[in-house]
Chain A
Amino acid sequence: MNTRTNFKYVEWRDTKGLHADSVNAISDLKFLKDELQFLKDLVAEHTLELIYGKPHEEAVRIGAELRTFDNRLKNLLKNLVIHSNNLQVLTDDIDVPNELQDYKNVHYKLMIEVMDFHSDVKNAKHKIFKMMSSMMKESKQKKMR
Chain B
Amino acid sequence: MKNITYKIVQWSTSEELHTECLEWASQLQFIKDEQRFLDKLIKEYTLSLIIEEAYNNSLKLVGKLNTEEKELSKLLKRVKDHINTIEILQDNTTDKLKGAAFKEIHYYLKVDVFMYANKYRETKKALFKKIKKLMKSEKRSHLLN
Contact = CB atoms under 8 A, between A and B. Distances in A.
B128 A38 contact: yes
Nearest to A135: B44
| Interface SS of B by simple majority | helix
In the complex, which range does the number of interface residues on chain B fall in?
20 to 34
Contacts of A132: 37, 40-41
Contacts of B131: 38, 42
A126 B19 contact: no
Interface string A61-89: 00000000000000000000000000000
B44 A47 contact: no
Contacts of A31: 121, 125
A3 B25 CA distance: 12
A106 interface: no
A141 to B, nearest CB: 13
Interface of A: 1, 3-6, 8-9, 17, 31, 34-35, 38, 41-42, 47, 50-51, 122, 125-126, 128-129, 132-133, 136
B55 interface: no
Contact of B37 (A41, A47, A133): A133
Given A1-B117, A4-B19, A41-B132, A35 B37 contact: no
Nearest to A130: B37
Contact of A126 (B33, B44, B121): B33
Task: Classify the interface of chain A: helix, strand, loop or mixed.
Answer: helix
B138 A51 contact: yes
B16 A5 contact: yes
Contacts of A1: 114, 117-118
Contacts of B30: 122
Nearest to B19: A5
A125 B36 CA distance: 13
Contacts of A35: 124, 128
A9 B16 CA distance: 12
